[in-house]
Every structure is written in structure tokens, then in C-alpha cells.
A and B are shown apart, each in its own frame.
Chain A
């Protein structure tokens, strides 16, 4: 029933993210498939296609990140804000049940959103190209989802920490931005490579739609990070005083 409650509270948000992401993904596939083969003044518009692909790819990632932020902010921490935490914690369930039930539902919603978008993109590719050379494209669901899951889990934890959705979201956003910028700065200044959540996406050679390999090690690593946050939330929640 907790999953039902979470769904009813978040369905508006999820549908929005779904629509945005699917549109972006479909557009991405369409431009990737059609632009390089269209001739402007005689020459194929490869450069233009590249720009479009990069833009839509970034846009897609940003939407996934926003979805992670938005869904994480409606996590268990929100119960404190609503004043319902007292009611919830006087139901006969372990506190960790509520932490994980909430997290799993949000993660599942995120996964479905990402999966649907990628599959629609793939379907568009198949539709346009009739026989695409890249059947492993749907595998991109995994790194994209892991990226989103990291943002989601971080926000979930932050919201529980400060017991407020909006503050949790802002803090999480701040940390993400920091975590994206910092490796760049460190790389440029000291030539050290820090891990960054973008690794799962950038390292996968998204520039072309062929070769759907993604860095498995980095993805697994960030997967563990994504799981560490709800664990930390459980630790926090079990000790919380109401």
C-alpha cells in the first residue's frame, strides 16, 4: 500500500518526465537517423547532425537528472514535512520497510521512464532506417538509468537528512553540480582523473549510435553508490526522533 500511496502522490511528476524524455529520445533517434543522409547544398549535413545529437543527448541526460531530483525529493523525508511521520512510524512496520519501499518504488518508476524512452528511441530508429546496424542500443538503458539512479538516491538521502523536499533537492543539485565540475577542474589543474557520474554516459561513445558498449566497471561502481544512499537513509531513519 505504501507503493500505491507513493504512486498517487508522484504520478503527475512521473508522467511529465516520461513525456519529456520520450519526446527527446524520439527526436534524438530521428535526427541521428535522418540528418546525416540529408543533403543541404550537396554535402551531407554531418556536422549539423553532430550538433543536434550532442544537444539532444545532453538534454536527455538533463531530463533524467531532473527526474532523479524530483523523484528523490518525494522520498521518505517528505513525511516529516507533511507532518505524517508520526502516523507512519506508529504503524507496525520496521522503519527500514518505509525507507526501502519508497526508494524501490521511485527507482522502479525511474527505470520504466528511462526504459520507455530508450525503447521509443530505438523503435524510431528501426522505423526510419528499416534495418539499423545497432541492435544493442536498448542496452543504453542501463547506464542512463544508473546515472539517474545516482542523482535519485542522493536526493532521496538529502531529503531525509534535512527532512524537507525542496531543501533536499537543492542540496542534491548543488552536490551534483559540484561533482560534475570538480573532476574537470582537477583534471585540468592537476591532471588527476576523479570519478564522476558522467563516466557512465560519456565513456560509452554516445557520439555514434553504433556500438552500444558502456563502461561496465564505472557503471557497477556508480550502482553501488546509488545503493549506498538508501542504506545511509535507513541508518538515519532508524535513529530519527519524532
Chain B
């Protein structure tokens, strides 16, 4: 599991871990039912606090990206994460706003901005 965190960036470590795992799942690098390292193992590999890893895993579990199996082990969740579409859109909106604002400030045309997003989606490949 190749995760890399930058403790000195302004972004909290747990968010970095969440983002990287979500990215890996979205890109297909992590497939449903793939095993994730235990909290303790990941913490010791990265040299960070296990509580930080635990928080990231909890959030990912709550978001339905991963799930903890009783009896041990954490795995990538299979199937569609159990969130309502409205909720998903609500969560994505701040990112969309940021792209819109920055694109406008750079004087890009709306079509150019949209095409950028489509290219990125294309790079991720098949997504459910």
C-alpha cells in the first residue's frame, strides 16, 4: 500500500490519507474487497499517530468507501457507497465551486473548464 503523507502541509494528515485512498479507489488501483493495512501497521509504516489513521478509516467507513469486517481486517467496500445522490452532490459542490472560481479568475471560458473536468474523468478510466 503506497501512501505518502506530508505532515507539514496545511492539510491534516487524516484528510490526506482519505483523499489518497478515495483517489486509488476511483482510479481502480484499489478494487472492492482489496485488503487495507491495519491501523497499527499503517501508522507504524508511516511513522504517524495510530489515532490519525483510525480517524481516516472511520471517515472512509462512514462514507462507505471501506468497511471493517468484524473479527478484524479492513477492506475496500464493494458496490455503490450507500449515500443519497443529493448528499454526494452536496459534498462535491465546494470542489466544483473552487474550479469555477479559479477558472473564472484565470479568464477561462466555461466550455474550457468543463472540458478539463471531462479529461480528468477520462484519465480515471471506468467508474461505476
Q: Tell whether any CB of A sits under 8 Å from a CB of B in the complex.
A: no
Residues of B within 8 A of A (CB): none
